[in-house]
Structure 1
Amino acid sequence: MSTKKVIRDIGIVTILLALRSVVGFIRDVVMASRFALDYTMDAFNIASKIPLTIANLLVMGVFTAVFLPIFTRYIIENKKDELNRLVGILFIVITVGFSVLIILAEIFARPFIMYVLTNNATAETVDEAIVLFRLMMPAVLLMAWAGLASGVHNSFQRFTMPAVGNLLFNIWMVLPAWIFPHSWGIRGFAVGVLIGALFQLAVQLPGLFGKHMKLQINFNMRHPALIGIGSLVIPVLLSSSINYLVPFIETFLASGIANGAVSALAYAFRISQLPLSIFVLAVSSVVYPLFAEAVTRNKPEALKFNIQWGLKLVVMIIIPAGFGLLALSHPIVMMLFQRGKFGIVDTVMTSAPLAFYGLAIIPMAIEAVLVKVFYSISDTKTPVKIYLSNLIMLVILDVVFVKMGLGIVGLALGATICAFVRILLVVIVIRKKIGIFGLSGLMVSMIKSTIASIFMSVTAYLIAIRANYVVNLGSNFGRSLQVGFAIIAGIAVYAIVLYIIDRKEINQMLAVLKRRGQSA
């Protein structure tokens, strides 16, 4: 794939993911305004943990991670019929497996909510969470089918329809605010999850079947590729599940801290994930097929080239984003949520953990790219070991920080420390696996981006605190001006400082965009 096409794909996916994130924040703003941090909002955040985590694991995680290298090999070897048969087998396995999971979840919803997802939550919160959980769980099967479809699309290096599906899913999570009766309350948003999952799947089907694919329902459970997938799925599922256990652990601990703590932590985490869910996800989604193709064609230098290029692109964006969240955590929360029932106390409660989460996204972004290297070389066991040891560290830190009286800030601090330790382990292991891949050059780029980001964040912070003298921060428009001016000025300072101290690197990046990149 040429660099021009890579950039075009990244651009398209970034735009679609940006729209998805905007819609997601509209949903958060609407829900915050209507429900603030009361028990129904806590109940929704508790109940949605399982279906939404499965969506992230399947649609953007396990299925693509495991299926893509195998599907890519069949495509490169021109074994389209074999690919069709394999997809048919996987469809049957997914349908049966997740149907059983949904039935069990519906039956055991009450004990699961009471003893696994909550810690001393009020009775009304638990009761509402059970109802919402049962409403949303059937969406899991639709999400699983959508995950399979996304894996096929990405294997053919088609990224638009999966991204459109994600956008439609988020749209249907906010539409209930306007199309369902107001009396439905928070339950209307749970129904929206179910409808959104249906649209996420449906939009991918027309482009899935045609000259490339013809679904062949197949019950051959002894297919050799299925056995290989099984051996890969379990470690990937474990490592991804361990990674996604972090919100569960923090939700469990936060539910015993104070009323509204669960929702405050959830809002802070979602804001911090915005740069990851837009730009970093776009880059990692597009470069992963390049990694897999380079490995399949036995081109180690092409693999290293794509790793270097992808990481430098990510670092140039994510470091200033992280410092920006640190500097503007309070104004951002105030701009997005402080309206209706969501008051200044809620803003303070949410902005404190956001500052730490802002720093955590830097190692998380690098990890999002590098973990795809493990999967492309079919090493799915190493991430499990790294994530498991990191999870143990997280639990210890979170418990200690909560007992120290740090509250939800302690939970965010624990997650941030663990994120930096985790990426250090990932880098060390990958270097042993594939050799030198330009790590020293990446470190230089990170240091320069950090220096520029410090100037940027100081500028943005000073403008934000001085904005009170020139705009009315009591209005939504005034808050938007405050954050908007701070961000624009910060970006300008970042670009100027970075160009001064890193002109050569920027020129090299621009040169890469002008010539055909190495085939992955």
Structure 2
Amino acid sequence: MTRQNQSDPAVTEPPKAPGLLRSSGVVGVMTLLSRVLGLVRDMVIARYFGAGAGADAFFVAFKIPNFLRRLFAEGAFAQAFVPVLSSYRQQHAVSEVQRLVNAVAGSLGVVLLGVTLIAMLGAPVLTAVFAPGFMDEAEKFSLASDMLRITFPYLLLVSLTAFAGSILNSYDRFAIPAFTPVLLNLTMIGAAVFLSPLMETPIMALAWGVMIAGALQLFFQLPFLMSLGLLPRPKVDYRHEGVRRILVLMAPALFGVSVSQINLLLDTVLASFLQTGSVSWLYYSDRLSELPLGVFGIAIATVILPNLSRKHAAESLDQFTATLDWAVRAVLLIGLPAALALLLLAEPLLATLFYYGEVTARDVGMSAQSLRAYSAGLMAFMLIKVLAPGYFARQNTRTPVKIGIIAMGANMVFNLVLIFPLAHAGLALATSISAWLNAGLLWRGLKREGAWVSQPGWLRFASQLLIANGALAALILYLNVPVGQWLAASGAERAWDMGILVAAGGAVYFAALLLVGVRIRQFKLR
């Protein structure tokens, strides 16, 4: 049966999808706003709570549901649901699409509710599993467990939010889902500033902020689903053909798309055995490295998944391979200078953002070690984000899971080898090395299956990137000053100097690209 949107006038679709560059730009801008506010949030947390035992406990309590969110809601579920929903749009009437949405909403909600209740009851067990090093410090362990009971319902709320966002993304409504995380950051900033002074244990305010934010994010998206005509009317129906397909695809996708997140969680587990502050140092450096990853890598991946799914359903192999090639070039264009900047400006960036209040100069130096290690793998993290959809759009989850298991096993080995000489920085470096292994195997698999075919001009493009990034590195090395001067400067001076560095670096990089012949029109792909 072909798609019959005219059968339901409540559902409106654009006559044609916007260009990938434009859509990626929309998602990127919204994500940039979210990530900038995320950095402001982390600056506020650092100022109020530093990198002590309370901060370590909160980061664990927040990381557990946040990790499961990325693993499940934004990882396995999104990668399984979007291709199935795109297939239904292509091949079925709108009434069948609504039935699928209703069945998924009910079935997903029941599972999430059960998992949330079990996790809240077993919070100490989860804390012991994810941060076993805390068990030697009774107060820190108890605090983390208490906060986990408050933060874990965030998984239920944000997973339903991701479900709503996946529907909007499938209909090329990218802006609203990309903007939604802003509410999390604003709520947590408000909790730290206004709620923490009112609480007996101030750090607990952050846990309440997380749960409140989850509810706000979900209810924010519902009116937009209503305007699309696809507001879910939940119905538990595990026998629905679409639900069964999603469940089959989800099981292996849990590993295939989220290996990097599993590796980051393993870092936290092992860091809990290291000196106090290690969890926080990894958190601050990871947050900074995630800025370019989220703004560019995830933005492009978000846009190409429904696009690739529709091209696969339409059996358009040439357009499928051209889209993948476009995505890889796009992340290289932005990812390489971002990784270079994080490597060369680790201490200045961390000092500018976090060297306030309870954060010490030692915290900056220790976080910089892990930030440099993460920067070495930034490009790999971004490539994974755009290569994995090449499998999931074709509903092939077996290959990514095999690759994911290999990469995760390698990460464990690298962790054990590098943690002794490099401590927390060794954990970050192990994650980066395994990410490169993961990305390389994904690329090789796509090439073997014929889903990746290099488009003309790669040698010229690589040369252009080399020249532009060389110009950027030369400028940073020329303008940057010793770390001591950054630490001695006031917050306003650091912000001003960093602003000049970022503006000058961006100007030189893009000017160099123009001089060597790179043009925006080359990246316009519908």
TM bracket, shorter-chain basis = over 0.9
Which whole-Å CA distance do the structure 2 matches of 1:191 and 1:48 have between them? 11
Kindly report the root-mean-square deviation, in angstroms, between the aligned alpha carbons of the 2 structures. 2.2
**Which of residues 70, 76, 86 is equivalent to 2:84?**
70
1:252 aligns with 2:263: no
Which whole-Å CA distance do the structure 2 matches of 1:397 and 1:466 have between them? 32
Offset, 1:482: 2.5
Residue of structure 2 in register with 1:316 after alignment: 333
Residue of structure 2 in register with 1:200 after alignment: 217
1:271 aligns with 2:285: no
1:163 aligns with 2:178: yes
Letter in 2 for 1:203: F
Gaps of 5+ in 1: none
Query: Structure 1's 462 and 299: CA in aligned 2 closer, same or farther, altered over 3 A?
Result: same
Residue of structure 1 in register with 2:11 after alignment: none
**Which of residues 222, 230, 236 is equivalent to 1:213?**
230
**Which of residues 411, 414, 421 is equivalent to 2:430?**
414
Which whole-Å CA distance do the structure 2 matches of 1:466 and 1:264 have between them? 21
Which whole-Å CA distance do the structure 2 matches of 1:319 and 1:338 have between them? 26
TM-score by length of 1: 0.92
SS in 2 for 1:207: helix
SS in 2 for 1:206: helix
1:510 aligns with 2:521: yes
Gaps of 5+ in 2: 1-14
Residue of structure 1 in register with 2:510 after alignment: 495
Residue of structure 1 in register with 2:499 after alignment: 484
Offset, 1:4: 5.5
Offset, 1:434: 2.2
Residue of structure 2 in register with 1:81 after alignment: 95
Query: Structure 1's 36 and 450: CA in aligned 2 closer, same or farther, altered over 3 A?
Result: farther
1:47 aligns with 2:64: no
Per-residue CA deviation, residues 370-425 of structure 1 (Å, 9 max, x unaligned), is 1111000110111111111111111111111122x211111121112112121111
Farther-moved stretch of structure 1 (334-343 vs 308-317): 308-317
Residue of structure 1 in register with 2:105 after alignment: 91
Per-residue CA deviation, residues 79-105 of structure 1 (Å, 9 max, x unaligned), is 211111111111221121111111211
**Which of residues 140, 157, 160 is equivalent to 1:142?**
157
Residue of structure 1 in register with 2:70 after alignment: 56
Per-residue CA deviation, residues 94-126 of structure 1 (Å, 9 max, x unaligned), is 121111111211222112212442325522211
Equivalent pairs: percent with the same residue?
A: 26
Offset, 1:55: 2.5
Which whole-Å CA distance do the structure 1 matches of 2:251 and 2:361 have between them? 45
**Which of residues 391, 401, 406 is equivalent to 1:384?**
401
Residue of structure 1 in register with 2:8 after alignment: none
Residue of structure 2 in register with 1:237 after alignment: 254
Letter in 2 for 1:32: A
Asked whether the 8 Å contact 1:64–1:151 carries over to 2, the reply is yes
Per-residue CA deviation, residues 330-379 of structure 1 (Å, 9 max, x unaligned), is 10001111111111111101111101211211111111111111000110
Which whole-Å CA distance do the structure 2 matches of 1:215 and 1:370 have between them? 31
Which whole-Å CA distance do the structure 2 matches of 1:435 and 1:198 have between them? 40
Which whole-Å CA distance do the structure 1 matches of 2:110 and 2:17 have between them? 41
Which whole-Å CA distance do the structure 1 matches of 2:410 and 2:487 have between them? 45
1:306 aligns with 2:323: yes
Question: Number of matched residues?
Answer: 509
Which residues in structure 2 correspond to 1:169-184 (within 5 Å)? 169-184=184-199
Farther-moved stretch of structure 1 (158-167 vs 349-358): 158-167
Which whole-Å CA distance do the structure 2 matches of 1:2 and 1:86 have between them? 23
Which whole-Å CA distance do the structure 2 matches of 1:252 and 1:291 have between them? 36
Which whole-Å CA distance do the structure 1 matches of 2:28 and 2:191 have between them? 26
Query: Structure 1's 214 and 186: CA in aligned 2 closer, same or farther, altered over 3 A?
Result: closer
**Which of residues 385, 389, 405 is equivalent to 1:368?**
385
SS in 2 for 1:202: helix
Residue of structure 2 in register with 1:326 after alignment: 343
Which whole-Å CA distance do the structure 2 matches of 1:397 and 1:181 have between them? 39
Letter in 1 for 2:284: Y
Which whole-Å CA distance do the structure 2 matches of 1:468 and 1:392 have between them? 40
